[in-house]
Structures are given as structure tokens and as C-alpha cells.
Amino acid sequence: MSRRALLSVSDKRHLVDFAKQLKKLDFEIVSTGGTKKALEAGGVDVTGVEEVTGFPEMLDGRVKTLHPKIHAGILAKRDNPDHMKQLKDAGITPIDLVAVNLYPFKQTIEKPETTEAEAIEQIDIGGPSMLRAAAKNFAGVLTVVDPADYQPVVDALKAHTDDADFRKHLAAKVFRHTAAYDALISNYMTEEEFPEKLTLTYEKQQALRYGENSHQKAAFYRKALPSKLSIIPNQLHGKELSYNNIKDANAALNMVAEFDQPTVIAMKHMNPCGVGVADTIEKAWDEAYESDPMSIFGGIIAVNREIDAATAEKMHKIFLEIVIAPSYTDEAFEILAKKKNIRLLKADLSHRDQPDRFEEITVSGGMLIQESDHQIDQIPDFKVVTKVQPTEQQLRALQFGQHVVKHVKSNAVVVTTDTKTLGVGMGQPNRIDSAKIAIQKAMPKNGYENAIMASDAFFPMDDCVEYAAKHDIKAIIQPGGSIKDKDSIAMADKFGIAMVMTGVRHFRH
């Protein structure tokens, strides 16, 4: 008994071969527009959809398949005698297979020059309607939305293994596909920052060996339209990225992208353990390494300049998990790639001014969404609140420290010079403990005589300022805003410390 398949696709990969195999399985092929032309050019006998509906395409092809002779043929329940009688009485042939993929809306809006009118024309109407109808009636209709499924469908038809589970699997894929398609359209057209309904869509990038810990399953999904500042999919060498690798690499990339000077970031467990800036990337590496030679071991390194051979030789001497750079000289890449497991990533920092505008955090039963913290506090915005004025070098150091501290987990306090971190105190439940950790880590190091202290939030009491003063810190930067700011200012004046306030808090939880 002959069966009917409706094929209407924008992605014509493997289309002709699929249709020819269906013909061998005694399917009549019904098709539309460009798909019909492609099949005919490939030597496939095709019935035009207008021959089925008795109605020509109209409105420049906007109306082709939206017709009862198509949708009734798809939606009729094969095990419902009344449905089948209605089809017979209306002279409608059942449609047993629907292979459709949709207008390339995503590819269209990815082009910067696309106008809104051009984007709107790529919103498919008939395709999703047929797919959803076929997927709803999966018990009687095979649905194919992905060319990768053509051969599995043919194989199942030949082996008579196109059972309910197989059909349901294909139907679920259809609903995922159309939901993602609609999400792209709604997000493109939405102008509100926080609309009443938010639908995001992601595409599976890779399965991961495990999650944060070995007993947790995990996978990596990328946004369907990711920001141009991204680590994916540009791995050049090394082992597959793990769950923790991806989180740390993302944190390191977002941080290094905010620096203008040649900069090296060493990241561990989502916190910078060493940051260095200099006139060259090699010198910046030296500064970052000297920041914390112990913690950098096994770290994730991000740089904002091409890595040269001299820098690569120094990196090669220690164990590093990941190196991220905009490029590598051939010699540098060869040096680093001698270690087969090191992950070498390439990141296009020419788009560093286009990071994700919003960030999402899942919570039990929901999600928090906020604007990403892209605020970079500048020296002209600093307000000196003490009798002692900071020197030019201290101002540079304060700006550098402020730049670093916003990327450290709260409560965050860092001690820096104007070119490198000396101590990082993070994640403590009170600010004085973070200050003590940062200062104690900083004190033995070269450059401490020029150290400043930066805090991501205000000092609730004057104890942090007092502790800093007693350990020879000469300048402090903090947002201010505490009801006890005057106590911290008085303590700074008592010890002759310069202190500036920015008015901007940089919590990171």
C-alpha cells in the first residue's frame, strides 16, 4: 500500500538521497517550492502541494500548506474510524511522514546588516504548523526535522522498527526544535529588559565526563545566539574541557577582556590568584607569576595579547590546566603543545566590548537575571575623603586594585601594586578576615612597600582600615556607603592613609 510523505525543507543536505530511498519504500513524495525544484533536478518524481490542495501558492509563498487537505491528512487519528471516514468523504489522502526544517531565522539575524523586515520574512509559519501537527499525531505520522535523522528513519522503515518509542523520540525533537525557534523570534522582537515571560534557548555543545564532582552528571550547552566574547568552540589543543574548566575559563576570559594593557590573569576556583600588567605579555606573565607562585600551579591562564615563544617557555615550566589567548605564534604553540593534556584556547578579544548584557543564575524553582557588572571605575570618578591625597602611582594602583577586586568572590579584599596583585582575600563571611588574608599573603612579597588595599564593598567598621594601617598599607579604595564611613575616614586620617571612595559596590556571590 502506497504511503505519502511531505517534504519541505530549507536545509537541502541529503534531501535527494532521502527522497529516493522513500520512493523505493513506496512513498509518494509531495513537496513545495524550492524543495520540489531540488527534488526534480535530482531526478525524483514529485507531486506539487498545489496538486494536493487544488489551490495555488499565494502571497509570495506565505500561504502554501495551510490547507485542510494537508493538515487533516496529518492530524487524522489512524485508529479512529470516524476520522478516517471523514478523510475518505473529503477525498483527502493521509500523510504518513512529514520532513520539514524551518526558514533560517537564526542565520538571518546573526548577520549585522539584516533589517527588521528581512528578519520578519524569515519567520516560518507553515513549517512549524505542519511539524507540530505531525508531532502531535506521532502515533500515525513520522516527523523529521533534522537531516541527521534521514537515514535512521529509512533504516527503521526498512526494518519495521518505527514503533511508538521511535516516533515519540522524533516528535519530542520536533517540539524542542520549534520551541527553540519561537524563543529566538520572541527574544529578537522583545524590547523590554525583563518581560513577563522569559524563554531562553540553548544548544548542546558537548557531553561532559562529569559535573563539579565525579558523582554528578553534566553537559555543556551554549546559547543559541552567544555573545561574541566566548571561549567556544575554539579549543586548539589538549584534553576535553571539564565542567570546572569551563567555569574557570569563562571567568578568566571575562576578566582579562576588561584590561587595556598587556595583562595576564591566573584563575583558580573562579577567583584570580595572580594578575599582572606590563608593557609586554612576557613581563605581565612575570608579574602574575610573582603574585602567587604556589596558587598559579594548575591554574587557568588568560592573556589579552598574542603569546610569544619567550612567554610560552616560562609557562611551559609549570603545570597549567588551560591557556586562553587571542593568538599564539607558531613557536609558542609548539612549545606549549609539548604537553599533550594542556588545553589551549583561542578567544577573539576584538569583541571584548560585546559581552553578555545579562547573566542568569538558577535557584531552586526559578532563575535570577541581572545586568552583568561591566562597570569599570576610573580615576576621575574617585572621591578622596581623607586629608592625605594619593600620589599618582597610588592612584594607578588603586584603579588596578579596584579593577581586580570586582572579579573576586565576596567578601573581597585585595592588596596590589600598580602592576600586580600581592594578596587576595575572598569569600569570607566578614570583611576583616578577608583583609587579614590579603595582607598576610602580600606582606612577604616584593613591592609591598608600595601596596594599596581595595575592597569590593564598604567597611562596616573601622577595623579593616586600622589593620591595614598597622601593616603599612599606604592607600585604600572602597565604595563607601556605610553609616560608619566617618569612623573609617577618621582611622585613615589618624594613620596618615589616603583613602578614596567610588560610590559603586562590586559584590560577586
Tens of pLDDT, residue by residue over 102-114, are: 888 888 888 889 8
Residue 433 lies in a domain: yes
Last residue of a domain, one of 130, 159, 189: 189
Residue 332 lies in a domain: yes
297, three cell numbers: 600551579
Binned at pLDDT 50, 70 and 90, residue 409 comes out as very high
Beta bridge partners of 344: 237, 323
Last residue of a domain, one of 135, 161, 189: 189
Q: What is the pTM of this model?
A: 0.84
423 shares its domain with 316: no
Q: What is the CATH number of the domain that holds 79?
A: 3.40.50.1380
Residue 71 lies in a domain: yes
Count of structural domains within the chain: 3
pLDDT higher at 237 or 450: 237
Last residue of a domain, one of 324, 346, 368: 346
Query: Would you call 29 helix, strand, or coil by DSSP?
Result: strand
120 shares its domain with 258: no
Q: State residue 231's pLDDT score.
A: 63
Q: Which residues are catalytic?
A: 136, 269
Q: What is the dihedral of CA 167, 173, 175, 177, to 10 degrees?
A: -150
Question: What domain range includes position 257?
Answer: 230-346
What is the C-alpha separation between 256 and 231, in angstroms, rounded? 12
16 shares its domain with 141: yes
Q: What is the pLDDT of residues 199-222, one digit of tens each?
A: 888 888 889 999 999 999 999 988
Q: Residue 73 has what DSSP assignment? A: H
410 shares its domain with 327: no
Binned at pLDDT 50, 70 and 90, residue 377 comes out as confident
What is the C-alpha separation between 250 and 219, in angstroms, rounded? 16
43 shares its domain with 143: yes
Of 304, 250, 249, 298, the residue nearest 276 (C-alpha): 304
Residue 161 lies in a domain: yes
Residue 84 lies in a domain: yes
Residue 374 lies in a domain: no
Residue 454 lies in a domain: yes
Angle between helices 15-24 and 33-41 (to 10 degrees): 70
What is the C-alpha separation between 465 and 129, in angstroms, rounded? 66
Q: What is the pLDDT of residues 26-69, one digit of tens each?
A: 899 998 888 888 888 989 888 887 777 776 776 766 666 678 88
Residue 206 lies in a domain: no
Binned at pLDDT 50, 70 and 90, residue 449 comes out as confident
Binned at pLDDT 50, 70 and 90, residue 165 comes out as very high
182 shares its domain with 234: no
Candidate from 215-229, 266-280, 422-436 with smallest mean pLDDT: 215-229
314 shares its domain with 456: no
Q: State residue 423's pLDDT score.
A: 95
Asked whether residue 4 carries a pLDDT value surpassing 70, the answer given is: yes
Q: What is the CATH number of the domain that holds 235?
A: 3.40.140.20
